[in-house]
Each structure stands twice: as C-alpha cells, then as structure tokens.
Structure 1
C-alpha cells in the first residue's frame, strides 16, 4: 500500500504498533513490560542512594527494587527524594538510566516541569502560526507561580486551538501534580505509554492514510514478516551486496560485504546503501550504545563522501546519536542512545 499506514495489534506475542510508509516498516513500538517494570518514558519517585565521586552522578533507589543512575548530582544529597524519568534501557547487571528533566509528551505539545519558557518546533516556519501557538501556550501557564516549559510540536499546526488547550490543561495539571508528589518511598507515578498511545502521539504528522487494528493486522499488512526479517543479522543491499548486524554484550558490530563484485565502485555503492538505511535499522532493532562498522574497502578519498551520507541520514533521527569517526584500523564508530529494548530480547523474552 502506498502512503502512511499505522498498524495496531500484536507481534512477538506482545501488544505493538507499526508505521509503514509505502509498504516499508519505518518505526515500531512493542510493549516491553514483561521484561522491565520501568520502560523508557516511565516517571517515578526515587531516592538518592549514593553519590558517585569522580563521575559526577548518583545511584538511585527506584520502584520494584530497581537501581537507577542519574548523571547530574548538582544539589543532591543521599536520602533525598526526587522525581525522575527513565530515559533508556539498562544493560544486564547495570543501573537504569534516568534523568531529572521530565518530558510530559503530548500529540501537539511537550510540557517540561522545571524548565520554563515556550519553544516552537523549527519545522513550523510561518511567523503568524508560531506567534498564535505561542500565545495559546503562554495563556495556559500565565497564572501559575512556577510555570513549566512548553515545547510546541510540529503536529500542532494541524490541530484546532481547543484541542491544543485541552491537551495543555491535562499535561500542565499533571506537571503540577508531580511536583506535589515528591515525598515518600520510591514509586511509579506515571507509566510509559502503550504502543497504541505512543503511535497516536508520535505518528500524527503527516496524518496516516490508513489505520489497521486487530490481532491479525500485523500479519495481513506484512508488518509481521518485516519484524521477523529484523531478527536475522543479515540485511540485503542492492546489487547482491549485504550487511551483517550483530549485537554483542559490549558493542554492536556491523560488517558490509559486496558479494561477488569486489570493485571499489561496488564497495562505495554498498557502503552508501547501508549508511542511508542505518538509522532505520538501528531504530527498528532497538540497537544503542557503542556501534562499530566495518565498511567494505574503499579509497580513503571516498571516506568524506561516506561520512556526509551518514550525517545526512542521521539528521532527522530523534535518538541522540554521535558519529565519532574512523579508527586507526579503518573502522567507523558511532554511539546511539539506548532508548529501546533490543528486538532480539523482546523476541526471546529475556
């Protein structure tokens, strides 16, 4: 099917949502509550357990006996209560990454407690629209003694003013309630959104051409086959080339191969094909942390071209990604925030 198609159903035995664009799987949300009680996005009350000297962070006591880690220790002391948001997925045996910067995400706006000001998405270009949306948001927090910040999302240009006001009222009220719920034992205060909720919130623009729901929707749309293909380490590229993507304990390794054609032109073509698709592959597979790529052999003069393709590919990616560069051995390193659980872990249930 051409256009944007949202699929709501089940895959790998879990509730899930998929975004297909012209029939290709572009994004995927799968319920991970069976693997972790505190998935990314969850907001909870925590207690400072121990300050970490030399690293500038603190270990936290979280709900369900979990242990968290917060990088910023400014103004914190042991035993202190604070509100934190889970920002990533903990590796086995490690603490859950958390942030003291809370993001209350809506379809049209994001409310940021403790970080004042109204900011408008750069994708909204029209000055009159920017001014009108800013006015709506400023009016929503005008009477608060300690107003939160507001980020106006690009989807807001398609929403009615009353819809934006209603969403703001709910999120600002939630911000106030969280601030008043500081004292007490570690407790989950707001769970992460379900896959269907996340799809409604994050895939609003452009508006989907079709929405398919039901337990068999993944199979009928072809999304189930696309998810199954992601469980293979092999990614086929044009011209018989292919890449291997493997997640190991310390890092993820990617190897690009040209197949039977070993010419320099084939190597550059295969590398560019992998680079363009890499953000999607990492996002769908839930891969984060340190990533090392062994590109197919190319002339050193072509490395700059390949880097430009990589930077352009990751420009629109929402997950924080740092392109580190080439190693002495000719490998390329990058680091992507661990904001999702590995798809292979979700499939294996561990």
Structure 2
C-alpha cells in the first residue's frame, strides 16, 4: 500500500501516534510516565557538580540536571526546559536555552532575529514568509525560525501559529513567580504528530486504528530483538543498562560480499530500528566481517541514513576491536517500558 498515513490511537491508557509509509510502520510516538520533552520549569538550583560544570535543580517532577553552568549559586531560580528522557534513577536532562516549537514556527527567546529553514530555496516564497512574520511580530524582541513546513502553507495558519508561540514565550519568559513550578507542558503524541509529521498524509482518528492498520502486529515484532535485513541476514538490537548492542549476522549467505551486503542493509535500517524502539545513549555495532577498505562505504551509507532521522545522533567512529560506536540523544522513552 503506497502513501502515508498517520494513525492517532491509544495503547492501553497511553496516547499514541503511528506514521505508516508505504504500508510499513515508520515512526511511533507513545505517551510516557516521565515529563515530556519541551516542558518548561521554573527550577531552583540545588547542588553543583564539581569538575563537570553542571548543576542539579529542584523541579515539581523531581531532580533535574543542567550541564555547563556558569555563575549559578544554590537557591537561584532559572527557567529550564526538558530535552529528553532520563535513564532509570537519573535526573531529568534540561537546558536553559528555551525553544517554543510548533508546526510552522520556532520561537527562540535567547536568539533574536528572523530566520527561515534552509530547505525553503525559492526566493519568492522566502519573501512571502518573511512578510507574514513581519506583520505578526512587529517589534517583538524574541527570535523566530520558520520551519520547512511553511512552504506553500496557508498564510493565516502560519500567522496564527507564530502568534500562539510568541504569546506562550512571552508568558513564560516574563514569569515572576517563586519556587519550583511547571510553566508549560511539552506536547503529547497526537500534537507531536501534527507538529512534526508535516508531509501530506491520510489521518486516521477512529478508535481501533492501530489494529486495522497493522500497527499492533508490528509492535509484536518490536518486542523481539531481531531485525531482518534480507538475503537471510539479520541484526539483533539488544539494549543493556550500559549501552545498546547491535549484532549483525550474514545468516546462510557464505559469499565473499555477504559481510558488506549485511552491513549496508544495517546502515539503511538502523535509524528506523532505534526510532521505533525509542532507544538512545551509547550504541555499539558489532558488524559482519568485511574488508577495511569497505569501511568508508559503510560510514557514508550510515551517515546518509541518519541525516534523514530527526533525532540527534553522533557517529563516533571505529574502536580498536573493529566495532562502530554512535551516541544518540534519548529523545524518547524505551518502547519496552511502555507496551501494555
């Protein structure tokens, strides 16, 4: 089945959204118990971490940790925003560089100026979008980024989105309260689907959409670790407490090119495998045997695959043992902890 579908449903009591591309589950968002990324707190500095330049904060949802802090003392109040999900037993990761993000606009209070996505290349369209922004913003002091989804979008919808984000930013940034408090909630799966899955798609909102569109069948597969790569090859995605281990096997293929074929298939499918499982942190690839001369080809394929993935991933490189390492932002909670 060709085309794109967005299915809004629930997994048990959890709100969830699925993106299906050409009949295959491409992305999945599931409500977690932890604070949502994007949540903004008025937090109180608690304990500095000597030698790391970080600070623990008190928030309504527990302890939070901010890296690279300068000039803060315990007891000071700071606006911080949740950036991802914490490992079990660790503090909520936050930043003091707040962003207010919607479908068309991103407001950047600490970075003034008006910018457009580089993906919008048509000069006439760029001029149109800047005119819309100018009409809404006038003398607003905050910065603005217009996202690629603005291209050819309705002017009134863009203007309404900009105004809503500016109002939210102003409300938060001018807060004069005291003590730990939640000032803005992050977006849930259904709003995130509207915000980030902007390409044309059929939207399914009827209850039972996950079952009728085969999402539940794919979830059963995701409970396991095996990902089939074709030609008998496979990779096993196995999270541990310390890291995520990826083991690539050629299966029954005994040809000279079996290793590079399996590894190239791994490079193509790895972003989706990690995205659907909600996995991040340190990732180690134990690849199928291949000549060292093929490493550059593999790296190029891996880099191209992650370039299309929205979750920040750093390709670290090769270890002395011949493994390949990545560092991926924990932007989502692990799916294994969310399934009913």
Which TM-score tier does this pair reach, normalised by the shorter chain? over 0.9
TM-score (norm 2): 0.96
For structure 2, the residue ranges without an aligned partner over 5 or more in a row are none
SS of aligned partner of 1:264: coil
**Other-structure match for 1:128:** 124
1:328 to partner: Cα distance: 0.4
Q: Does 1:154 align with 2:143?
A: no
**Other-structure match for 1:281:** 273
1:248 to partner: Cα distance: 0.5
2:292 to 300, 313, 316: 300
Q: What CA deviation, in whole Å up to 9, does each residue of 1:137-193 have, x standing for no partner? A: 23433323xx11111111111321121111111110111100121431111121121
| 8 Å CA contact 2:36, 2:188 repeated in 1 | no
| 8 Å CA contact 2:236, 2:247 repeated in 1 | yes
1:125 to partner: Cα distance: 0.8
Equivalent residue runs for 1:1-350 within 5 Å: 1-11=1-11, 13-32=13-32, 35-36=33-34, 38-64=35-61, 66-144=62-140, 147-204=141-198, 206-208=199-201, 210-347=202-339
1:13 to partner: Cα distance: 4.5
For structure 1, the residue ranges without an aligned partner over 5 or more in a row are none
1:227 to partner: Cα distance: 2.1
SS of aligned partner of 1:237: strand
| 8 Å CA contact 2:37, 2:187 repeated in 1 | no
Whole-Å separation in 2 of the counterparts to 1:141 and 1:341: 36
Q: What CA deviation, in whole Å up to 9, does each residue of 1:31-73 have, x standing for no partner? A: 11xx22x122211111111222221111111113x11111131
Whole-Å separation in 2 of the counterparts to 1:325 and 1:107: 34
Q: Would you identify which runs of 4 or more consecutive aligned residues in structure 1 move more than 6 Å? A: none
| 8 Å CA contact 1:11, 1:224 repeated in 2 | no
Whole-Å separation in 2 of the counterparts to 1:41 and 1:77: 25
1:11 to partner: Cα distance: 2.4
TM-score (norm 1): 0.94
- The alignment yields a C-alpha RMSD, in angstroms, of 1.4
Whole-Å separation in 2 of the counterparts to 1:162 and 1:316: 29
Whole-Å separation in 1 of the counterparts to 2:210 and 2:317: 38
| 8 Å CA contact 1:48, 1:76 repeated in 2 | yes
Whole-Å separation in 1 of the counterparts to 2:6 and 2:127: 32
SS of aligned partner of 1:192: coil
Whole-Å separation in 2 of the counterparts to 1:41 and 1:160: 26
Whole-Å separation in 1 of the counterparts to 2:177 and 2:212: 49
Distance 1:43 1:264, change over 3 A: farther
SS of aligned partner of 2:257: helix
Count the aligned residue pairs: 340
Whole-Å separation in 1 of the counterparts to 2:218 and 2:267: 19
176-185 or 132-141: bigger deviation: 132-141
Whole-Å separation in 2 of the counterparts to 1:20 and 1:290: 28
| 8 Å CA contact 1:81, 1:182 repeated in 2 | no
SS of aligned partner of 2:218: helix
